């Protein structure tokens, strides 16, 4: 789902309250109306928008009463800093995803979660796994905040070298691209996926700030400098 669409939807307090209610149990229109303290007509309008976005869906019971419920799990991340604004929405990964193989910087003990489902169907096993996953969720949230703070620190230090008018995130990506490739202009362009002329101008500015050195048709990090991991 497009993150901008999701932000617009969640910008309305009543829609957020509807989703909070439906996260606990399926509800029908009158029930939601009484919970919110708004008219059924307004509730129907909110439900229609949430349903069109694919966040909720409905089913009808034996008495032909329509119940609404959450259709899928969606995660929304918002990043606001002095160096940029970004949003990202995603659906949860398949439980079988090899997180350690895909995320080499993470060191997570997934022994219980990765076990054969037939071996962890007992209530005790489920309770233990849920408890561990809650702890992991909190740790990941803390890790995300730590990474955000470190990224901001790196970009602040680049601003000190390049000037406050610089797009420090772009220059950080250029430095990282030089460090991770052969340093040729084409390789850096491909790595950062940016306009070749803008990349060339950025590389020259980094050289003027004594952060890069040009050797023939290639660039390298200047001695004593470390490339930012952004």
Residue 6 has pLDDT above 60, yes or no: yes
Distance CA(209)–CA(87), nearest Å, equals 31
pLDDT for the residue 115: 53
pLDDT for the residue 84: 84
Range of weakest confidence among 128-137, 188-197, 205-214: 128-137
What's the rounded mean pLDDT across residues 160-172?
83
Instruction: Note whether residue 26 is domain-resident.
Output: yes
Distance CA(220)–CA(175), nearest Å, equals 9
Instruction: Note whether residue 80 is domain-resident.
Output: no
Q: 188 and 143: one domain? A: no
Q: 62 and 12: one domain? A: yes
| Total count of domains within the chain | 3
What residue ranges in 37-83 does DSSP mark as E strands? 56-60, 66-70, 75-81
Q: 136 and 184: one domain? A: no
Residue 183 CB burial class (10 angstroms; 0-12, 13-18, ≥19): buried
Distance CA(203)–CA(192), nearest Å, equals 12
Domain CATH number, residue 51: 1.10.10.10
Q: 139 and 189: one domain? A: no
Instruction: Note whether residue 116 is domain-resident.
Output: yes
Instruction: Note whether residue 104 is domain-resident.
Output: yes
Residue 62, domain extent: 3-70
**SS3 label, residue 222:** coil
Instruction: Note whether residue 91 is domain-resident.
Output: no
The pLDDT tens digits for 30-71 are: 999 999 999 999 999 999 999 999 999 999 988 899 999 999
Domain boundary among 149, 171, 189: 149
């Amino acid at each position: 789902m497009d993150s901008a669409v999701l932000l617009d939807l969640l910008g309305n307090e009543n829609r957020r309250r509807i989703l909070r209610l439906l996260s606990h149990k399926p509800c029908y229109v009158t029930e939601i109306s009484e919970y919110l303290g708004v008219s059924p007509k307004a509730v129907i309008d909110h439900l229609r928008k949430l349903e069109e976005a694919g966040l909720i869906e409905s089913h009808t019971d034996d008495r032909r009463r329509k119940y609404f419920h959450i259709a899928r799990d969606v995660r929304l991340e918002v990043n606001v800093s002095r160096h940029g604004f970004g949003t990202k929405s995603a659906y949860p990964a398949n439980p079988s995803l090899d997180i350690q193989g895909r995320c080499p910087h993470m060191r997570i003990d997934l022994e219980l979660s990765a076990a054969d489902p037939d071996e962890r169907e007992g209530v005790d096993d489920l309770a233990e796994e849920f408890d561990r996953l809650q702890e992991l969720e909190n740790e990941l949230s803390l890790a995300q905040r730590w990474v955000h703070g470190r990224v901001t620190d790196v970009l602040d230090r680049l601003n000190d070298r390049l000037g406050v008018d610089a797009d420090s995130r772009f220059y950080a990506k250029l430095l990282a691209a030089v460090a991770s490739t052969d340093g040729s202009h084409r390789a850096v362009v491909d790595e950062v996926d940016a306009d070749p002329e803008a990349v060339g101008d950025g590389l020259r500015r980094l050289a003027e700030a004594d952060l890069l050195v040009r050797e023939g048709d290639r660039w390298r990090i200047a001695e004593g400098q470390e490339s930012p991991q952004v």
